[in-house]
A = this chain, B = another copy of it.
């Protein structure tokens, strides 16, 4: 079975690279609809932009259309910012007009936790799949094609970012255009696309990740996921990503029950069993991280360093304390800092003339800010067991230029541990601009290097061995899954869960479903005491205890 179709990928392509954008619910004031219009208008010289609002002839200086039907063309992308109950009608009008794709900003669907709204969301998804008018959302903040500077978002946080090879897919819009965008700008990490998917009535993060796999501008796919609607689809993405050597770096909510509960409220996402995700991610080479800064730093490292030829790491610093702490954290992360050869030690000693320490880690004192620093770095980088050089310092422009120049001359990995102020403009700014991967504390550096090593080691194994295939399902297992699939729900009641488990041959307690007090008594007598009485409902999970 083909998971993704050509028309679906074409719809995503139009959504991410629109030549025309309509905004239904555009307003002069900079609320959601007004902000979407304002963001789109920044690309006015390259993209045709159509506000749709019957109350205005002109909005933000642009002609406004009373309805979708009145538009001069079927736009590549329609941003929908209207009350929840009008969304389906608008989608129908967009389809009739021949629109290519839609972003539903409107909230008020499954995240409200009531059946009617959940049903409405299901209808949006079905409509999108049936008609081919594929959509992102509802309850999202839109997206940005950063590389071409086209912003289709209601974010209040501005429409400006650094261009680069990281493609970001994020279920939470306020996180995509909040911490991710802000910290990426801080860190100089560049995006190809920023995509928020919200409740995922139709297209989900796996669909967008699948698109990014084919996108030449994206070298690393970064994701923030509360829960997967369809985990098998994600695994297919992970397999393809491994083949192509595009790392997947992810935050997956659900480390704890508190987070899982919050995610259910937020985008109605089911986080699933966390240990299972850990195991599956490990098997499929997905790099799981804990926070947005880490996601960006690790993505930047993977995007801008080659595969390490050797696992060894060399560390050089102007400070003995920094080099000790860096070595300590590298050791804690299981990284190898190979001792220096006589050649390297004598060479560096010849430069240091008794100051500092010619070793790995090297403490080269003020020589880290001298004309001799390139020679020191070269001695370390030329060591046969060293695959990656870490400069742990906070020098000025000259030091940064020396590091950037060295990176151009080597096929080994270079990373920087910046120990100065994060707001430094000298040195640090140059490093960022040159896309030297920068970390700010020894332990995030060490964990980042560890993840890079593990990823490439995993991929080497994967390319030589292939994935372990899951055993085929038995007829009984197929039937059990089929029965539950027809229920079209994402939570199972206790008795349904037990039927499923039993199909895999796992013993379960005997039980009878009783719908009245009398039936319960009768069942208890049939089973034999002692018995336990429990509520059985898909709406009340986690009540087994």
Instruction: List the interface of chain A (C-beta within 8 A of B).
Output: 107-108, 111-112, 170-176, 178-179, 182-183, 185-186, 224, 226, 251, 253-263, 265-267, 290-294, 318-325, 327-332, 335, 337, 354-355, 357, 359, 361, 363, 394, 419-424, 440-444
Q: How far, in angstroms, from A421 to B189 measured CA to CA in the complex?
A: 13
In the A-B complex, the 4 residue pairs with the closest CB atoms:
A172-B321, A256-B331, A259-B328, A258-B331
A422-B422, A441-B292, A442-B291 known; A325+B251 contact, CB < 8 A: yes
Q: How far is the CB of A184 from chain B (nearest CB, A)?
A: 10
Q: How far is the CB of A246 from chain B (nearest CB, A)?
A: 24
Q: How far, in angstroms, from A143 to B122 measured CA to CA in the complex?
A: 66
A423 touches B423 (CB 8 A): yes
Q: How far, in angstroms, from A423 to B429 measured CA to CA in the complex?
A: 13
Q: How far is the CB of A238 from chain B (nearest CB, A)?
A: 21
Please tell me how many copies of the chain the complex holds: 2
Q: How far, in angstroms, from A179 to B174 measured CA to CA in the complex?
A: 32
Q: How far, in angstroms, from A158 to B169 measured CA to CA in the complex?
A: 43
Q: How far, in angstroms, from A176 to B320 measured CA to CA in the complex?
A: 11
B258 touches A327 (CB 8 A): yes
B293 touches A263 (CB 8 A): no
Q: How far is the CB of A334 from chain B (nearest CB, A)?
A: 8
Could you list some 22 contacts between A and B, CB below 8 A?
A: A170-B321, A176-B321, A178-B394, A179-B322, A179-B394, A182-B424, A183-B421, A183-B422, A256-B327, A256-B332, A257-B331, A259-B328, A259-B329, A259-B332, A260-B328, A261-B359, A262-B323, A263-B328, A265-B359, A265-B363, A267-B320, A422-B423
B183 touches A321 (CB 8 A): no
Q: How far is the CB of A441 from chain B (nearest CB, A)?
A: 4
A262-B361, A325-B251, A441-B292 known; A320+B174 contact, CB < 8 A: yes
Nearest residue (CB) in B for A333 is: B256
